[in-house]
Structure 1
Amino acid sequence: MDDLVKALQAALGNVWAYYFKAHTFHWNVRGPLFQQFHDMFGAIYGDAFAEVDTLAELILTLDVPAPASLDDIVQSATIAFAAAGDVGMMLVQLAADNAAVIAALDAANTAATAAGKQGIANTLQGLLDAHEKWGWKLRATINAGAAG
């Protein structure tokens, strides 16, 4: 069960970092397509914020306390908090960060399946589906040249 707890904690850290970065991009986006990207980043951080609660509650179902400080939440995050650049860089960073979230969720899903925790695995699979969709949307936006 330790592997599952660690994997859920890592997923929580990455989702929190992804949430925070998308939120700061929502605040700081500029340019002629401001409203489009402001809304897109708002939708991303809204989804991610809900996932933070879901992941913390999955940890609690294993009779392990949820992280009690920001340091505890982000200690296992692989996503950097530094946010910089124009909207094109924001999109590229969020696409890469979303891929890191997918990797963390996939690792947690594998650990949940190995531990026989199908309910947790099912929840993680739903989160994976949502991030796969965001990955597609981010890549499609980058590839459309809309960021330039």
Structure 2
Amino acid sequence: MQIDIGIKEDDRAKIADGLSRLLADTYTLYLKTHNFHWNVKGPMFQTLHLMFETQYTELATAVDEIAERIRALGFAAPGTYKQFAELSSIKETEGVPEAKEMIKLLVEAQESCVRTARSIFPACEAAADEPSADLLTQRMQVHEKTAWMLRSLLEG
């Protein structure tokens, strides 16, 4: 059945492509955060273990919301490691870094998600796609706040 939500198919495709990149970044960040949750050690163990759990739990919900928006626009959401690796701007971390390096890597990944989300706005604005723009705004707020909280652990 045809989709008639007031956004042209070409515009929906552009937005879905951008959201697919955001989905890949978000899922990659989810995996990185969960990995660090499992493997963190040192004097900040308890704090970071709990903080990382809170973060990956939030990211798991976000992945679903982003994928569902892609589907609502009429396109298939990427869902394989191969697709995520091709689409993501966030690279996997080799080995198990020290706790402070984990924090630094997560700050960088959170900021990558913000940049990806921000890059999709022009397509949303051009198509008057407020639901996608709202989703992007929410994601940027979460990622910017999380990056700030993580960054504050490295100061002082």
TM-score normalised to structure 2 length: 0.87
How far apart are 1:109 and its partner, in Å?
2.9
The yes-or-no answer on 1:53 pairing with 2:64 is: yes
How far apart are 1:73 and its partner, in Å?
3.1
Residue aligning to 2:99? 87
Structure 2 residue corresponding to 1:100, chosen from 104, 112, 116: 112
Structure 2 residue corresponding to 1:63, chosen from 74, 79, 83: 74
Structure 2 residue corresponding to 1:18, chosen from 29, 33, 38: 29
How far apart are 1:85 and its partner, in Å?
1.1
Residue aligning to 1:74? 85
How far apart are 1:69 and its partner, in Å?
2.4
- Determine the C-alpha separation between the residues in 1 that align with 2:22 and 2:35: 20
CA contact (8 A) 2:28 2:84 kept: no
CA contact (8 A) 1:16 1:74 kept: no
Runs (5+) with no aligned partner, structure 2: 1-10
Residue aligning to 1:128? 140
Residue identity matched to 2:71: L
Partner of 2:74, secondary structure, is coil
Which sits farther off after the overlay, 108-117 or 51-60? Answer: 108-117
How far apart are 1:48 and its partner, in Å?
1.0
Residue identity matched to 2:19: L
Query: 1:63-114 CA deviation, whole Å, 9 max, x = no partner?
Result: 1012242322332101111243100000000000111010011112332222
Q: Tell me the C-alpha RMSD between the 2 structures.
A: 1.3
How far apart are 1:61 and its partner, in Å?
0.9
Which sits farther off after the overlay, 43-52 or 63-72? Answer: 63-72
Residue aligning to 2:4? none
Partner of 2:87, secondary structure, is coil
- Determine the C-alpha separation between the residues in 2 that align with 1:67 and 1:140: 33
- Determine the C-alpha separation between the residues in 1 that align with 2:54 and 2:152: 16
